[in-house]
Amino acid sequence: MKRMKNNYRLTIQYDGTRYFGWEHQPNTDMTIQGKIEAVLARMTGEDVEVLGAGRTDAGVHAKAMVANCMLSTELTEEEIRDYLNRYLPEDICITKVAIAGPRFHARYNAIGKTYCYTCYIGDSKPVFNRKYVFIPEGRPNVDRMKSAAAYLTGEHDFAAFCSNPKMKKSTVRTVDRIEIAVSGDLLTFTFHGSGFLQHMVRILVGTLLEVGFEKRTPESILTLLEKKDRREAGPTAPACGLCLMSVDYQ
């Protein structure tokens, strides 16, 4: 008799340095989704699809990615977690497994996400966290960046901050919080919003850094939002500094 499948919610940490992002990619098995699905297939003896809350890019990290999958197993939630952690690579960890409602969908039910981007602005070298920070040339003006960030907060068309020129869906998003802070040798940008476009956070950071280095004015953000032209915005900051911190659900 075939066992009934339950919908399981997974909370996942990963160091994205070695991987080509969350989502399956052709000609490689080095994706977070692929690694987790392979272990679950080994555990259950059947193919398993793991649905993530988002599609982090190659090299991007996560402290609390959320995913869900349907499993037919007699193992408890804790035993599933322990099995996964036993066979997953050392740079991927399942921190929690819980049975979710049958209609729970990690992506479609998400109502918000928090990302943090970290820069190292010290005078030395960040030897031990070099894989998780971007090192700009110099120390940007934080007050100028905060002024620019104020123009980005709220509901806007963020087309200028999207790397996909063929985006067919709406590029309107709500970013309700942008915090820029310095703690010791680290400069952090924290973004919270309803959702983010492809490379959006990294383009926002690259643009804000240009403001901080006086390559553009804080007020130029208004023109970017109005023109909706990616070519007018700043560079895409490197993936290594970006981390998905949390996903919100009701």
pLDDT digits (tens, 9 = 90+) for 217-246: 999 999 999 999 999 999 999 999 999 999
Assess whether pLDDT exceeds 90 at residue 81: yes
CB atoms inside a 10 Å sphere around CB 187: 26
Task: Catalogue the active-site residues.
Answer: 57
Residue with tokens 């699905």: 37
pLDDT digits (tens, 9 = 90+) for 1-26: 456 789 999 999 999 999 999 998 88
Look at 192 and 167; give whichever has higher pLDDT: 192
pLDDT digits (tens, 9 = 90+) for 186-214: 999 999 999 999 999 999 999 999 999 99
The alpha carbons of the chain give a radius of gyration, in whole angstroms, of 20
Token pair belonging to 25: 């990619």
Check residue 2 and give its pLDDT.
Answer: 58
Mean pLDDT for the stretch of residues 138-158: 97
CA nearest 53: which of 1, 133, 112? 112
Q: Which residues pair with 99 in a beta bridge?
A: 8
Mean pLDDT for the stretch of residues 165-184: 92
| Residue 12, SS3 per DSSP | strand
> Where, residue-wise, is CATH 3.30.70.660 in the chain?
112-248
Domain 6-99: give its CATH code. 3.30.70.580
Instruction: State the fold for domain 112-248.
Output: Alpha-Beta Plaits (3.30.70)
Alpha helices in 11-123 (DSSP H): 32-44, 77-87
CA nearest 212: which of 133, 123, 119? 119
Check residue 133 and give its pLDDT.
Answer: 97
pLDDT digits (tens, 9 = 90+) for 47-66: 999 999 999 999 999 999 99
Check residue 139 and give its pLDDT.
Answer: 95
pLDDT digits (tens, 9 = 90+) for 94-118: 999 999 999 999 999 999 999 999 9
Assess whether pLDDT exceeds 50 at residue 152: yes
Angle ∠(174,134,138) on CA atoms, nearest 5: 105
Residues 6+ apart with CB under 8 A from 91: 14, 15, 17, 18
| Residue 193, SS3 per DSSP | strand
Which amino acid, 218? Answer: P
Mean pLDDT for the stretch of residues 67-79: 95
CB-based contact 91:105 (threshold 8 Å): no
User: What is the pTM for the complete model shown?
Assistant: 0.94
